[in-house]
Every structure is written in structure tokens, then in C-alpha cells.
Structure 1
Amino acid sequence: MRKTGYLRNVSFYVLAGLIFSMMVYNVFYNLGKFPISSWDEARHGVNAYEMLKNRNFIVNTYLSHPDYWNLKPPLSYWAIMVGYKLVGLNALGLRLMSGVCAIFMAIVIVLFMKKRFGRMAAIISLLALSTSTQYLLNHCARTGDADSLFVFFFTLSIISLLSARRQTRWLYAAGLACSLAFLTKSWHAGNILLIMAVYFLLTRQWGAFHWRAWWRAALSFAVPVLAWVLARYHYDGWRFLKQMIAYDLLLRSSRPIEGHIGDETYYGIILVHFFFWWLALLIGIMVISYIQDVRLLTFDQANHRLKADVVGILVWICVPLLMFTLAKTKIRWYILPVYPPLCMLIGICASQLWRKGTWRARGLLLAGLLFVASFYEMNIQKYIHHPKPNWELALLQQTAQMPVHGYELFMYHPLHRKDHWPQNAVLTAKLANDLKPRHGGLKTFLHTNRSLLLVKKAWFSKQLEHKYHLSVLASNRWGYILEKQA
């Protein structure tokens, strides 16, 4: 018996180590080689860069002005600053902490699942998470957006909630993690509070805690949030906070803004697009269990607390899907917090079928797991090995080793239209050599010292170069960077 237990432990750690290594590879391979995206990665990156340069860690700015479009508290910007400090002012620094948070979240889930539902449930949950394409590739683990940090705190809060009945101190951890989630992505953290309320309502655990525990949990949430509110109020009064409520909460909820439209099927379609085969496997497990009269999600009297954990996981899936479906503004990455509980549910159901099912059921389950994981892993490998170049950004990056640090950067348009700076070009210019994108075009460029002109290839001509006494500083297939001749 001891030998069997030892072999099972060794097998678990070897298999978990292999899958974990695969996830680390999926998250970090070529992480700094992908071009920066304008929405919303570049915006966060510029906010963090300028906060770091200005030594103001409360007010986020864009092009040196307070940013009243990106209405998020500062925690995600602080995370990007840490990345900049650790590995440099580059795309890897921008994304580093997103990847680290994804790895930490995987560790938290594995530890929780192993303790509650066993080794197999932990392994399968990790396998599903490490091959979740939207979570890894789309606006989360491999990007400099706020979502990876937010999903980590979201997950930490709910897992702490599920652990609170066993140890009251986890209730305080749930409140603190919820607070940090709010300081990362603002009103999205309201889903956590709603999950908590529904969970306690369904499990009837309100009375399990003394009133002092509730007060301490409330304080663990409120104190960090209020500290930030007071700090922000010190700089610009109620302007930022009022805009958070009016635009980021009420307007986004009541009407579709910025073209983000969709009906009640929107998030279902997103899940099917990114997670179809894992959902199909989950349905297949349920069908096989019904045919073989295997009761899933049932536990003996000794493990009655696991029922409450399953209820919490199901509520964790349903509440964000319902709330974001009701909200009028639809954006695909809003539902990223449902991937951890979906992976955990797959792990629980698969492990129960393995324990209670026949050998034929086990064979089908194993084949299904291998097929689904291999299918998504091949897609991930294809993506991370072939970064699509952005030649405009590559041109700006050529200035990194040139003596043009801090120069003003203008954009040329032959029709003298108002120049438009894409957010990813703004961030790339800043990270490359602290270049300062400015409006004003050719005319302002000619009257500005220490300045450069960005020209698209279709708009460049030798006549332009000779007429204004310009020389080519850098070029590629996208265009040119010009400077005035001495």
C-alpha cells in the first residue's frame, strides 16, 4: 500500500511537472517578439511608461495628459512597471507580469484541486487551462493588458471564499483579493461580490461566521479601495471617479459603446469559438456518465463540504456569463474569468468518471483528453512560433540604438489631414528611444528642433527629401524616418 501510494505521488508530480512546463513554454516562448497591440495593450503600456517617467504612481496619463479614457485604477500599471524594471523598456517587460500571474494562478488551482478533489482532477484542470487558447493568447496571459492580473485576483478571491468555511481567515483573504481585483479592473470586480452573495445564499453559510469576521472581511476589501480613492481625489478631485461611474459602469452597461455590439448569444459563440472541444468533452463525459449510470458531482457524507465547493464553481461560471450578457457593451475578453472554473469543472467531472466508470469509459475519456489537448496545443504552438510582423513598429524600433533619444516625432501626410497616431506606434516609439509622438505634421516638424518625421512609403518621394533638405535616418518596407540635414 505504501509503495502504491508512493508511485501515485511520483506519477502525479511527474505528470504535473510536464504539463506545467508546457504551460510555461506556452506563456513565455517568443513573448517579447510579438508586435504590440493597440487595444488595450498599448494604452496600458503608455500609461505605465509615463507614470514611471513622471514618478507619479496614482495618475495615469497618455501623451502627457491625464487619461480619462482608460478609467482603471493603477494596479495593472504598477505590474507593467515592475516588468519594465526587471527586463527593460520593451515588449517583454510590458507582458512579463501577465505571464507570471498566469503561472501563479495555475499553481493556485492545482493546489486547491489536489487538496479538494484529488490528483487526477488537479492534473486535468491544469491540462485544460494550459491549452485554453483565449486565456493564453487573446488579451490575457501573453499580452500587457490588465486581464491576466485581474483573472488571477478573481480566482484567488473565489478560491479563498470556498476555503473560508474550513478556516475563517480565508474570508479576509477573499475580501483582500476582491479589493485588488477592483484596483486592477474597476467595476468588473463586482462579479466577485455577486458570486459571494449567491454562493452564501445557495449554501446557507451566512451564519457560519461571527459578525466580527464579516466586519474584518469588509475592511479587508474597503481599506485598499478607499486608500486609492483618497489618493486619486487628491490629484483631480472627483473628475476621474465620476467618469468611472458615468462612463465605465453606467454607459457600458446601458448601451453598446465604441462599436462593441452583440446579442444574448455573443458570449456563447465566443466560448464555442475558443473552447469548443473542451466543452464537447465535458458534454461527452456527462452523456457517458448518464448511459453508465455514473452520478457526477456527488460525494459521500464524509465529503459533504465538496458539494458547497461545486456549487461555488458553478456559480463562478454562471454569474459573469449572465452579467456580461445583460450588459449592452459586448467585448470578447470580458468572460476571461470563467475559464479557470470551467477547467476545474472539467477536472472534477473527468476524475469522477475515471474513478466510477468502466474500463471502456476510461478509454474513451483518455482518448478524448489526448485529442482535445493535442488539438489546442498544436494551435498554440503554431501561433507562438510565427509572430506576425508589424513593419511600422519595426521601423520605429530601429531608432533604439541611434542618438535621437527624446526627440519629437511627427507624422507626414501629403493631404495635410490631421495626423493620427496608433496607440501601438506611440508605445513603441516611447520604448525604443523615448521618442515623443506629436501632432502637427510636416509644418511643425520643420520648425521643431530635435525632431524626426515618420513617412509611409506610399507618401515618400525624392522631391520631398530634396525640397526640405531631409535625409533618411531609417527605412524598411513600411516607410522612412527622416531627419533635417545639419
Structure 2
Amino acid sequence: MDIHRTKIFDSIISFVEKGYYFFLAIIMAMTIYNVFHNLGLSPIESFDEARHGVNAYEMIKNNNYIVSTYGYKNDYWNLKPPVSYWTIIAGYKAAGFNELGLRAASACAAVLTILILALFMSYKYDKLSALISAIVLSTTTQYITEHCARTGDADSVFVLFFTISMICLSLSSKSLRWLYVSGVAFSLAFLTKSFHALNIILIICMYLILSKDIFRMKFVQIILVIVNSFFLIAIWGFYRYKQDGLKFFQAMINYDLLARTSSTVEKHGGDSYFYLDKISSSYFHWIIVLFAVVAANVLLLKHRREKEQLIDKSLVLILWITVPLILYSLAKTKIQWYIIPVYPALAVVIGAGASSYLKCRYRNLISQLFLTFLILHSAYRSENYILNVISKTWTDPGQIVLKELKSYPQYTGKNIYTTFFGYSAEDPYRFRQNYLLSAELYDDLIPLEGGFEGFLNDKTNNPIILLKKDKNILAQKEKYRLKILLEYDDAVILTKEK
């Protein structure tokens, strides 16, 4: 009876693998829905989505695709090389100067990452592991909903290049050409998110040493790996140096590398378990599956003769997970999305481990059914959470009135000021990043500091100001001969009467 039931279970697995492309298409359709549904309906977020959006928009306006600016001044706060800005620019060109255009590249990168991961799993492991890994990553809540796949930040594109580099490194045991591609992917990751990519080069170096592959490589091959890894970075560095010398690089090293690792920057701190706590909370259901898969496969080791070979095959995965966890945990500055690049690796572990156990010949039908239940339950709970998040939309009054300003083309390209909707209570005359991007993106406005006084003293044609709508507005309106151009909720745009 047990044997009969096991054969039925094997038949189900066989059916799933025979319909691999059909099931993969369903998973990818779900992925596309997860990352694109309502993508352009949520307001622009300050820190860091808006900052990247401004950098990309002003690159277009300045016709300079090397130097990033903010408020049309060289940006020495967002110290990233230009690849992430280029991807946002591509989104603007494809979907328009709006929220969808801002986030389109991130969404596409996430879809591509999951597809590449599935194809890799099918090639290196089997079709069942590919389907499981794809559904794990496509329902990883932090990856989909936080600062990555659905936002205009650099993280989704960075994770794409990180994943490609690790996949190619894993395949380098078959052909050294893959190692060269891994190096190129590292350089693109560095050009996307700067020193975060040092995780990649450290993993590559550790893998080559621990696997002893480096001792089997010729000197010219080692040189080619180094050249492939740093050639694109050197080209960008040359052109950036021509723009403002060493200033940008010094800021990169002093702030983005040394300050973030040795001190708590911008109050982003945490203890040594910060990232483990984040994974255990946002990845809770898949963590249960991960533990079950690892435990099940550990029990199977006694039946396997190729234990050392299995460890060798897992070396890239082990480094892929542990190196970022350790390095980011040691750094003083801790931000929850720094750890996102490990999620594709965890998906690989779950996919490969689950498939290995579900198809093993050492039968334990109850445990196999239980593991299947855990996978389906985790996918359902995680997907349900994602659907709940992406179904909710909200509005931002300031962004609404700035968007409605499109209906007044005579104000396009004009100066705009603010007070209430400023950067902070201490600095109300400097625009919050999301409003600065909204002003530029929707109406090509020029946001200026100076507040109400700056607005009144502006002698140019048709200056405007974004304010909080309160009882003082009417008094100011009468006193200075102003008129309300647009209003929504507690936001109002004023202009001067002719």
C-alpha cells in the first residue's frame, strides 16, 4: 500500500515536470502581476526612490549621463555610479515621466531575475527545483514589496546583476568562460550600487581559493578575470574623473564605504542580529520550509556516497548567503533592504533541497507529503500578503496638485517654492525629495528654496508656491493679491494675480 501511494506521488511529480513550461508560465504570470499591479498608483517615496528619480530626470535634462545632479547641482549625497539611473531613464522613455516610468525598470529586473533563476535551476538541477525556486522568490515578501521590485530604487537591478554573477560563478566549474561573465556582472553591480558589490568580488575570491580552482588557472586566465571584473568600472571612473576630478570618489569612499561600515549613519543602527531578525519576520513561512528542507537532506546524507561532492556543489550557495549576512551584520550602519540579495540564494536552497528530498528513493511518504504541504502553504500565505499590499493605494495631496498642474501648460517650466511641504520642520524652505521629483517630473518645474518670501520676491513670469491649506492662506491671498490655482485636501498651489 505504501509503495502504491509512493508511486502515485511520483506520478504527480512526473506530471508537474512534464508540464514544466506550462507551470513556469503560470508562475511568471503571477510574478508579473505581483510586480506590476497598481505599480504607478502609489505616491513617490522620499529616500531613496525620489532621489534616484531626480538624478535620472536631471541627467536627461542636462544631457549628461555620467554626472548625477540633484536640484541641478552635482549630487554628493547619493553616491552611486550611473547604471541604476540609466535604467530609470529607460523606464521614463518607455512608460513616461510618471510613477510607472520611475519603477518600470525595477519591476522588469525582478521578473528577469526570477526567470533567469528558474532557467538556471532547470539546467543545473531539475525542473521541479526550478518551479519551486521560482515560486519561492516570486512570493518573497520583502523582495517584492520593500524597496526593491516595486520601487524606483537601485536594489532590484543590483539583485539582478548579483544573481547573474553568482549563477555564472556556479557554472564556472563547467567552463571558465562563465567566470569571465561573472566578473562582468560584478562590474555592472558595482556601477549600480557602488561598494555593496564588494560582497560579490569577495565571494568570487573565496570560492576560487576554497575550491582550489585558482591554483588550476593559468596566469593569463587570472588576468582576464580581473580585467573583465574592472574594465567597465575603469571606463566609468575615467569619464567621471574628467567631470569633477577626485571629489566624487573621495565622497564615495569616505561616506558610502568608511562611514557606513564604521559608524551609524542617519540613525540606521541595529544589533548583530538585525538582519537575522528581519529575515525571520518577513520570510517566516519560507524559513520554516528552509529548515525542513535542510533537516530532511541532512538525514539523507548518510545514504549518499558523494558527500564531499555535494558540499563542493553547495559552496557558492553557502558563500552567497553567509558573506553578505556577515559583512552587513558587522557594519555599524544597518538598513533592512541591504540583505535582499541573499533571497535568490535561499530560493535556490529551498528549490534544490525540496526537489532532492521529494524525489529521493529512500521513501517516507508522510514526510514528503508534509514538505509538499509546507511549500504550498508558504506560497499561499506569502502570496496572500503580497496581494494585500499591492491592492492598497493611497494619495498624497501635494503630489496630486502638482500632477493636476499639467492642465495649466502656461506654468510648465516655471519656478516653484514651498513651506509646509518642505524638507523638515527645521528646513521648511527646501523641498522634500518626493515633492521635488513630482515638480520636475510632472511639470518640468524648477524647485527653489526661499519659501513664501522667496516666492513674493520672484520677479519671473508665473512663479507658484505649494502650501498647506489653512486659515492663513485666505489672509495671505488678500494681502499679497494671490489666487488659488489648485487645491486638494490640505494642499494648495498659489500664484500671483496679473
TM-score for the superposition, normalised by structure 1: 0.94
Check whether the contact 2:136–2:286 (CA below 8 A) recurs between aligned residues.
yes
Shift of 1:315: 0.9
Instruction: Give the number of aligned pairs.
Output: 480
Shift of 1:420: 3.2
After superposition, the C-alpha distances for 1:50-72 in whole angstroms (9 at most, x for unaligned) are 01110001110000100000011
**1:437 partner letter:** P
Change in CA separation of 1:452 and 1:19 when aligned onto 2, cut-off 3 Å: same
Shift of 1:202: 2.3
Shift of 1:164: 1.1
Residue aligning to 1:216 = 224
Percent of aligned pairs sharing the same letter: 38
After superposition, the C-alpha distances for 1:141-189 in whole angstroms (9 at most, x for unaligned) are 1111001111111111111111112111111101110011111111111
In the alignment, the residues of structure 2 paired with residue 157 and residue 429 of structure 1 have an alpha-carbon distance, to the nearest angstrom, of 38
Check whether the contact 2:144–2:150 (CA below 8 A) recurs between aligned residues.
yes
**1:190 partner letter:** L
Structure 1 stretches lacking a partner, 5+ long: none
Check whether the contact 2:16–2:23 (CA below 8 A) recurs between aligned residues.
no
Structure 2 stretches lacking a partner, 5+ long: 1-10
Residue aligning to 2:334 = 330
Residue aligning to 1:344 = 348
Shift of 1:342: 0.6
What secondary structure, in the 3-state scheme, does the structure 1 residue paired with 2:434 have?
helix
Check whether the contact 1:299–1:306 (CA below 8 A) recurs between aligned residues.
no
Greater shift after overlay, 338-347 or 217-226?
Answer: 217-226
Question: Where do 1:148-297 residues align within 5 Å?
Answer: 148-288=156-296, 293-295=299-301
Residue aligning to 1:406 = 413
Question: Where do 1:362-373 residues align within 5 Å?
Answer: 362-373=368-379
After superposition, the C-alpha distances for 1:18-70 in whole angstroms (9 at most, x for unaligned) are 11110111011111111111010000000000011100011100001000000
What secondary structure, in the 3-state scheme, does the structure 2 residue paired with 1:295 have?
helix
Check whether the contact 1:413–1:459 (CA below 8 A) recurs between aligned residues.
no
Change in CA separation of 1:232 and 1:146 when aligned onto 2, cut-off 3 Å: same
In the alignment, the residues of structure 2 paired with residue 31 and residue 200 of structure 1 have an alpha-carbon distance, to the nearest angstrom, of 41
Shift of 1:459: 5.9
Matched, 1:452 2:458: no
What secondary structure, in the 3-state scheme, does the structure 2 residue paired with 1:454 have?
strand
Matched, 1:472 2:472: no
Check whether the contact 1:48–1:78 (CA below 8 A) recurs between aligned residues.
yes
Shift of 1:442: 1.6
Check whether the contact 2:17–2:128 (CA below 8 A) recurs between aligned residues.
no
Residue aligning to 2:83 = 75
Change in CA separation of 1:397 and 1:320 when aligned onto 2, cut-off 3 Å: same
TM-score for the superposition, normalised by structure 2: 0.92
In the alignment, the residues of structure 2 paired with residue 477 and residue 70 of structure 1 have an alpha-carbon distance, to the nearest angstrom, of 32
What secondary structure, in the 3-state scheme, does the structure 1 residue paired with 2:441 have?
helix
What secondary structure, in the 3-state scheme, does the structure 2 residue paired with 1:389 have?
coil
Residue aligning to 1:462 = 474
After superposition, the C-alpha distances for 1:356-389 in whole angstroms (9 at most, x for unaligned) are 2422112111111111111111111111111222
Check whether the contact 1:165–1:208 (CA below 8 A) recurs between aligned residues.
no
In the alignment, the residues of structure 2 paired with residue 219 and residue 305 of structure 1 have an alpha-carbon distance, to the nearest angstrom, of 31
Residue aligning to 1:314 = 318
In the alignment, the residues of structure 2 paired with residue 306 and residue 211 of structure 1 have an alpha-carbon distance, to the nearest angstrom, of 29
Check whether the contact 1:395–1:476 (CA below 8 A) recurs between aligned residues.
yes
Structure 1 counterpart of 2:365, from 334, 359, 363? 359
Shift of 1:208: 3.4
Matched, 1:56 2:64: yes
Shift of 1:418: 4.5
Check whether the contact 1:27–1:99 (CA below 8 A) recurs between aligned residues.
yes
Matched, 1:124 2:140: no
Residue aligning to 2:395 = 389
Check whether the contact 2:40–2:100 (CA below 8 A) recurs between aligned residues.
yes
Shift of 1:400: 2.1
Shift of 1:116: 1.2
Check whether the contact 1:116–1:306 (CA below 8 A) recurs between aligned residues.
no
**1:452 partner letter:** I
| RMSD value, Cα | 2.2
Change in CA separation of 1:219 and 1:484 when aligned onto 2, cut-off 3 Å: same
In the alignment, the residues of structure 1 paired with residue 315 and residue 427 of structure 2 have an alpha-carbon distance, to the nearest angstrom, of 57
In the alignment, the residues of structure 2 paired with residue 8 and residue 150 of structure 1 have an alpha-carbon distance, to the nearest angstrom, of 32
